[in-house]
Amino acid sequence: MGSMISGAIDLGGTKIEARLFDEQMRTQETRRVPTPQDGFDNFLNALVNQIRWLEDASGDSSLPVAISIAGLIDPQTGIATASNIPVSGRNLGRELGAALGRDLPLLNDCMAFAFSEAHGGAGDGADSVLGLILGTGVGAGLVINGAITPRYAGLAVEIGHLGMPARALARHGLPIWPCGCGRDGCNENYVSGTGLRRIAEWAGLSDTDPVNVAASAKIDADAARVMEIWADLTGEMLYSAQLMLDPEVIVLGGGLSNIPGLPRRLTLALEKLRLGQVRLPRIVVAKHGDSSGARGAALMAQVGKA
């Protein structure tokens, strides 16, 4: 992979980012526009314009392009589901194909992230790579033997909406918080950036910004306790992932992946929880950072299918 010029669209709730990659998968040009929220037609026009821009920037009207979307595409029906993009209930692939005159691969953003890190990223060479994004929310993607795993209903690895074990909440006296998905006690409520902030508020910290909490943990006992709780809960989520998926490598992305020493902290948390003496996955930070999702889509564009 990475032997031809390709493009990617990183499609999220706030922006539609177009990124052009050269043959060595280095970003050549980038253009970002806000994601229209005033209806599907305006959204589709903005998306088409970004793809046309990529074609013009490359001088190739048949430039391989794929789209990384913060949402789900049902593989059988093509129907999209997304919380912050006006595409739910629409067959985005079909309508985009009609507007462009050609079909483009669409893949979940967490899957695109994992695909990127499994090919020339922090998980390169591993048989199984779990790409775990710890940002405003929590999501993951899985790549086995270099390929995205088949998904019956288009789900990524929706680990953020598994329930946090009662034992873990009881250890720290934490309440069962409601989740935006409509359920209670989801992992995302506790281990995302939003969750870390929530734990800091619950613990009475005056500064609840996740980056600041992590930084002040070295000198402030209350902040250190918050980080210990957060790491323990994140360890529980990683334990669930290991029991179900048994990845060789877990690659961390998202804003919280920038916390210094995070792989070591989470490895120690997982060691305390592990089943017997089973080998632990290697926990590493993404090599390609914020551009990894777009990079994964561009690699997928070269393959030609998601």
Would you give per-residue pLDDT tens digits along the chain (306 residues)? Answer: 667 899 999 999 899 999 999 999 999 999 999 999 999 999 999 999 999 999 999 999 999 999 999 999 999 999 999 988 999 999 999 999 999 999 999 999 999 999 999 999 999 999 999 999 999 999 999 999 999 989 999 999 999 999 999 999 999 999 999 998 899 999 999 999 999 999 999 999 999 999 999 999 999 999 999 999 999 999 999 999 999 999 999 999 999 999 999 999 999 999 999 999 999 999 999 999 989 999 999 999 998 765
pTM for this model (two decimals) = 0.95
Rounded to 5°, angle at Cα 14 from 140 and 29: 85
Please check whether residues 25 and 130 belong to one and the same domain.
no
Q: What is the C-alpha separation between 201 and 224, in angstroms, rounded?
A: 14
Closest CA to 20 of 1, 7, 34: 7
Please check whether residues 133 and 245 belong to one and the same domain.
yes
Please check whether residues 97 and 245 belong to one and the same domain.
no
Q: Report the CATH number at residue 168.
A: 3.30.420.40
16, two tokens: 């539609």
Q: Is residue 163 part of a domain?
A: yes
Q: Is residue 40 part of a domain?
A: yes
Please check whether residues 91 and 132 belong to one and the same domain.
no
Q: Is residue 119 part of a domain?
A: no
Please check whether residues 89 and 18 belong to one and the same domain.
yes
Write the burial class of residue 100 (CB in 10 Å: 0-12 exposed, 13-18 middle, 19+ buried): middle
Where in the sequence is the domain holding 85, given as residue range(s)? Answer: 6-112+290-303
Gyration radius of the chain's alpha carbons: 20
Q: How many domains does the chain have?
A: 2
* Positive/negative CA dihedral, 148, 158, 47, 29: negative
**DSSP per-residue string spanning 235-277:** HHHHHHHHHHH--SEEEEESGGGGSTTHHHHHHHHHHHH-STT
